[in-house]
Amino acid sequence: GSVGKDGYRHYMEKELHEHPVVIGQTLQRLIDPATRRVRLPGLPFDLARVPRAVVTACGSAFYAGMIGRYWLERIAQIPVDIDVASEMRYRDPPLTPGGLGLLISQSGETADTLAALRGMRARGQHILSVLNVEQSTIARESDAVLGTVAGPEISVASTKAFTAQLSVLACLSIAVGRARDTLSAEGEEALVGSLLDLPGRAGEIFDLAPAIREMAAVIAGARDVLYLGRGACFPVALEGALKLKEVSYIHAEAYAAGEMKHGPISLIDRTVPVVASVPSGRLFEKTVSNLQEARARGGRLLVFTDTRGAERLRGLAEIVVAVPTVDEFTAPILQTIPVQMLAYEVALLKGTDVDQPRNLAKSVTVE
């Protein structure tokens, strides 16, 4: 049936507000409520015997895959290669049969992702797809599908499908870690606990809309914006920059915060706002010192952090948005929501066609 906007101005706004529910529904499918253990549906191959993973996708789904790589490496200690599907399909990577070919797609119809899948299959990989549309071409050509329970996503720019993909990839990383014995039962309990905490914490983020609107007012007047993040929040920066480009038509570039000194720092002045995703944790101080470098060049800092990191950043940044503090593992999931909200608020100020941006398609079935 047709999907309405439920009183929201745009599908993008409605779908942003669905993040908490979608994360919850997706986790519910993969976590046994009684044991609080990850329980994937039966796979036709043994995760314990998978020596490495190759991840591929396009657009936002690719950035979800990048976050998945950090988790798979860290939690499951498994080597991961990743590339956008339009590159992967022509790379001819040497792959030992029996590896994991991991595809991520909202629609399940993206032509490049499908072509990359076929290349991986030809090289003997087990094909596991993370899909929102479970009746799709990619689904039919996969050995197994893990569903993102995001419901129909109408807005061309993806929002809720992204956090649903992350929820699946988080559970997959836990399952691979348990299978390979790189994650203990207690370790699993802690990670699952922080995942189950997410829907509630995500719901609190919408209270931060006024501060996000202040950020949007700064960005709406800019021609270029630089997004920064480190570790699993580098892909969050990439997602933020992509979303801004897609819906507001403002040029944005995302950089790994530590790499800024090798180039983009030369661009920074009062006219180039710097948006950073900096939750507390291992990489916090490193990223703060990168922000100090940007500040010293006159950059206007608009910073997403958590309640634990907020105090340290208030003296430095022009605007600080602090989401609830959560485990380092789940922080990138929470950090994604406000950067997507920011892009939406900028689009409103610019008066663009938010749900149907020019030149973009929801599903790209041509090469």
- Least gap, CB of 63 to ligand G6P (angstroms): 8
**For residues 145 and 156, which CB has a smaller minimum distance to ligand G6P in the complex?**
156
Please give the residues from 19 up to 58 whose contact with ligand G6P meets the rule CB under 6 A.
58
Query: Is the CB of 104 or the CB of 192 nearer to ligand G6P?
Result: 104
Q: Which residues sit opposite 102 in a β-bridge?
A: 55, 128
In the block, residue with structure tokens 């938010």: 354
Site string for ligand G6P, 182-221 (x = CB under 6 A): ----------------------------------------
To which residue do tokens 């299978």 refer? 179
The answer to the question of residue 236 lying near ligand G6P (CB under 6 A) is no
Phi-psi region of 18 (alpha: psi -120 to 50; beta: other; left: phi over 0): alpha
Residues 139-178 that bind ligand G6P (CB under 6 A): 156-158
Stretch that binds ligand G6P, among 272-280, 300-308, 320-328, 358-366 (CB under 6 A): 358-366
Q: Does 352 bind ligand G6P (CB under 6 A)?
A: no
CA distances for 112 relative to 298, 310, 358, angstroms: 41, 41, 21
CA atoms within 13 A on the CB side of 19: 26
CB of 273 to ligand G6P, least distance (A): 23
90-98, 184-192, 288-296, 357-365 -> range binding ligand G6P (CB under 6 A): 357-365
The long-range contacts involving 284-291, CB below 8 angstroms and separated by at least 24 positions, are: 284/309, 284/312, 286/230, 286/257, 286/258, 287/228, 287/229, 287/230, 287/257, 288/312, 288/313, 288/316, 290/228, 290/230, 290/257, 290/258, 290/260, 290/261, 291/228, 291/257, 291/316, 291/317
Q: How many residues bind ligand G6P (CB under 6 A)?
A: 16
Tell me, residue by residue from 55 to 74, as one string, x for binding to ligand G6P by CB under 6 A and - for no binding.
---xxxx-------------
In whole angstroms, the minimum distance from the beta carbon of 160 to ligand G6P comes to 11
Closest approach, Cβ 306 to ligand G6P, in A, equals: 26
Q: Which is nearer to ligand G6P, 106 or 277 (CB)?
A: 106
Residue closer to ligand G6P (CB basis): 172 or 294: 172
Coil vs helix vs strand at 46: coil
**CB nearer ligand G6P, residue 116 or residue 283:** 116
**Cβ atoms within 10 Å of 259's Cβ, excluding its own:** 14
Maximum C-alpha span of the chain: 55
Instruction: Select the span of 219-227, 314-322, 324-332, 355-363 touching ligand G6P (CB under 6 A).
Output: 355-363
Q: Which of 7, 1, 17 is nearest to 337 (CA)?
A: 17
The site map against ligand G6P for 92-111 (x = CB under 6 A) is -------------xxx--x-
Instruction: Indicate if 362 belongs to the active site.
Output: yes
Q: Which helix (H) or strand (E) covers residue 97, if one does?
A: none
Q: How far apart are CA 80 and CA 69, in angstroms?
A: 6
* Shortest separation between residue 42's beta carbon and ligand G6P, angstroms: 25
Query: C-beta of 173: minimal distance to ligand G6P in Å?
Result: 20
Is residue 82 part of the contact set for ligand G6P (CB under 6 A)?
Answer: no
Render 191-214 in DSSP notation, one character per residue. HHHHHHTHHHHHHHGGGGHHHHHH
DSSP per-residue letters across 173-189: HHHHHHHTTSS-HHHHH
Among 111, 115, 208, 364, binds ligand G6P (CB under 6 A): 364
- Beta-bridge mates of residue 31: 38
Give the active site residues. Answer: 362
Residues that bind ligand G6P (CB under 6 A): 58-61, 105-107, 110, 113, 156-158, 360, 362-364
